[in-house]
Amino acid sequence: MAKCDLSIELDEPERVFLAGEMVDGCVRVSVDSGVNCTGLVVSSGWKTHGRGNVTSGNGEQTTVFSGEWAAGQLQEYRFSLPAGDWPPTYHGHFLSIDHYIDAQAKIPWAFDPKASSPFMVRATEASVEPDHRKSSDTIVRQMIGGIFTVVILVLFCFSFISMDWGGFLVVLVLVAVIAFAFFRKFLPKYMLGNPEAFIQEDTLASGDEVVGEFVTKTKKNVSINSVTAVLTCIERCVSGSGSHKTTHTHTVFEKSLELQSKTIFKVGQEHRLPFVFSLPDDAPCSVKLHQNSLVWSVELRVDIPRWPDWVKRHDLLVGPSVDQTAESKLSAGQQSHVSADRNNQNMVDRDSPSTSSGSSTAGELTFAETVSQLWAVRQDQDQVEMVVEAVSGISFDVEAEVERRLLYGGDEDPHVYKDGYAVWARYPDPRLPLVLYVPHDLGDEFEQLGRNKWRGKGAIVGWDSLHGRLQIRLDSSR
């Protein structure tokens, strides 16, 4: 049988490629006797390796040759393939991800010789994996949970109908499961009076700040040992299946903040505990690849003496920073900032006549354009304040996706209506955080709205620098 050897040589083996950049090189073929090749296929792709089950993906491919190879010949075939856009190269403890250029010679009636050469890929802002928190795995788990609940209820009813020793044991087990769920989930929430933990922005880049807040108002005096927030990045890999399935975890990054030491939450008093974490400049991107994942999250925990702890976790989607993009993307970003500066100046020069209500009309300027300008300069506080000052008092047709209804109210914030509310929301695209100051007569509308979109009139009144949100006072006369 003829021997056919393949090897791959990349032109830039040490280069870190960005999504879409061309990976160039050549495939060398050496044979010791005549060989008929029906296709020499060169392709790009990626795969995981480490403790978890292997996950892989294919990129583009090209056929660089088909025909006869004569004995003793050494042939070289050039190729140029684009680098994949996801996932980025990662080398960790239990999980590693590598991209490869693969070559395969298709030889009839023989084993196909193969060769492979790794190359490194860095993610770009445009190639961040879609939001995986509503992935198919999550949906499956929710379906299983619903089916499990139905099965428990059916067994519970059946056990009461046929109450023998077997039925009694089933009822006993079901009661224990329900009691455990009640003990772990409902008792802490009851003690703290419906506590909430908010994250300002859960889609971030390495080097960004994770900004959030814990809020609660207890119905009685409650002693606590501490309130803590923990930012973690964890590798999670699954190996095997069925009864041999094993999950391996490794903590890549962890930072803890004590938001409140031992104290007493006074009855009826609203307790607000803000927190800020800084993501590392070299933070790895969030990745979820079937049974291999790299998950960033923030966990809030309230330690209650002689009582189950209240715990809530928020998953984060961390992508690459702007500094990690290609020169073309940096150039595009600079042009965007220049455009934003020019438009900001135009907004400052815009004549905005006052109305009888003290607000202004937007003229040709739209709320979408204003949001786009703020999004472009959101990392520059001076630029943000300049844009907000230029549009302050202008009334817009506002569209917002509600996040937290009736988040807080009172006289602490000068923009809050008397007997009104403040609601956290986001503009749909780009997802700029907003604070909507809602008058009392719109309270029922927002109560029924839930987390859906709201559309109406509102005037920009400022910028919440603590939470990074555009402040909008809604029109009560609509």
The whole-number average pLDDT for the span 159-167 is 53
What is the DSSP secondary structure assignment for residue 347, as one 8-state letter? H
> What pLDDT score was predicted for residue 297?
93
pLDDT in tens, 207-220: 888 888 888 888 88
Q: What is the pLDDT of residue 100?
A: 94
Residue range 441-461: mean pLDDT, rounded? 78
Q: Looking at the structure, do residues 359 and 464 belong to the same domain, yes or no?
A: yes
Query: Residues 122-131: pLDDT tens digits?
Result: 877 544 444 4
Q: What is the mean pLDDT of residues 353-359?
A: 37
Choose the final residue of a domain: 123, 143, 162. 123
422 band by pLDDT with thresholds 50, 70 and 90: confident
**259 and 138 in a common domain:** yes
* H helix and E strand count, the chain: 7, 26
pLDDT at position 45 over 80? yes
Say yes or no: 91 and 141 in one domain. Answer: no
The C-alpha atoms of residue 356 and residue 363 are separated, in whole angstroms, by 16
Bigger pLDDT: 326 vs 235: 235
CA-wise closest residue to 324 among 130, 95, 121, 132 = 121
Residues 6+ positions from 368 with CB-CB distance below 8 Å: 427
Residue 148: what pLDDT? 53
Residue 133: per-residue pLDDT: 40
Residue 448, H or E segment = helix 443-449
- pLDDT reported for residue 306: 80
The answer to whether residue 234 scores a pLDDT higher than 90 is yes
Per-residue model confidence (pLDDT) at position 125: 59
> What whole-number distance in Å separates Cα of residue 471 and Cα of residue 414?
11
Cβ–Cβ < 8 Å for 253, 283: yes
Residues 243-266 as b/e (b if ≥16 CB within 10 A, e otherwise) read eeeeebebebeeeeeebbeeeebe
- Pairing of β 209-217 and β 196-199: antiparallel
Residue 300 has pLDDT above 80, yes or no: yes
Residue with tokens 């059946």: 158
400, part of any domain? yes
Are both 152 and 281 inside the same structural domain? yes
Considering the domain architecture, whether residues 271 and 142 belong to the same structural domain is answered as: yes
- Output 245 or 26, whichever has higher pLDDT: 26
Residue 163: what pLDDT? 53
| pLDDT of 36 strictly over 60 | yes
Report DSSP state, residue 244. G
Is residue 73 domain-resident? yes
More confident residue, 115 or 424: 115
- Last residue of a domain, which of 92, 123, 154? 123
Which is higher by pLDDT, 97 or 186? 97
Tokens 């150039």: give the residue. Answer: 331
Q: Which residue has the higher pLDDT, 81 or 429?
A: 81
Q: How confident is the model at residue 332 (pLDDT cuts 50, 70, 90)?
A: very low
Q: State whether 313 and 368 are in the same domain.
A: no
Q: Please state the separation of Cα 435 from the chain's center in Å.
A: 21
One domain for residues 170 and 49: no
Query: Tell me, what's the pLDDT at 320?
Result: 79
State the pTM of this model: 0.60
The predicted pLDDT at position 147 comes to 53
User: Using one digit for the tens of pLDDT, what is the confidence trace for 276-288?
Assistant: 998 888 888 888 8
- Tell me: do 173 and 306 sit in the same domain: yes
Mean pLDDT of 322-333: 43
- pLDDT tens per residue, range 104-114: 988 887 788 88
Q: Sign of dihedral through CA atoms 96, 102, 106, 109?
A: negative
Does residue 128 form part of some domain? Answer: no
Give the structural domain span for 114: 4-123
Same domain assignment for residues 141 and 116: no
Q: Among 31-45, 142-156, 445-459, whose mean pLDDT is lowest?
A: 142-156
pLDDT exceeds 70 at position 465: yes
pLDDT at 66 over 70: yes
Whether residues 253 and 346 share a domain: the answer is no
| Mean pLDDT within 354-373 | 62
Give CA–CA dist 229/214, Å, rounded. Answer: 9
Task: Output the DSSP codes for 369-400.
Answer: HHHHHHHHTTT-HHHHHHHHHHHTTEEEEEEE
| Residue 223 in domain | yes
Rounded to whole angstroms, how far apart are CA atoms 317 and 282? 15
Say whether pLDDT at 298 is over 90: yes
Based on the structure, what is the number of domains in the chain?
3
CATH of the domain at 166: 2.60.40.640
SS3 state of residue 139: helix
Q: Is residue 47 part of a domain?
A: yes
Q: What is the mean pLDDT of residues 5-33?
A: 88
**Structure-token pair, residue 137:** 């795995």
Specify whether 346 is located in the same domain as 434.
yes
Mean residue pLDDT of the chain comes to 76
Q: Which two structure tokens, joined as six digits, stand for 391?
A: 């549009």
End-to-end, the C-alpha distance of the chain in Å comes to 85
Tell me which of 80, 99, 123 is where a domain ends. 123
| Cα distance between residue 190 and residue 308, in whole Å | 11
pLDDT at 265: 84
- Looking at the fold, whether 152 and 51 belong to one and the same domain comes out as no
Give 105 or 365, the one with higher predicted confidence. 105
In-domain check, residue 202: yes
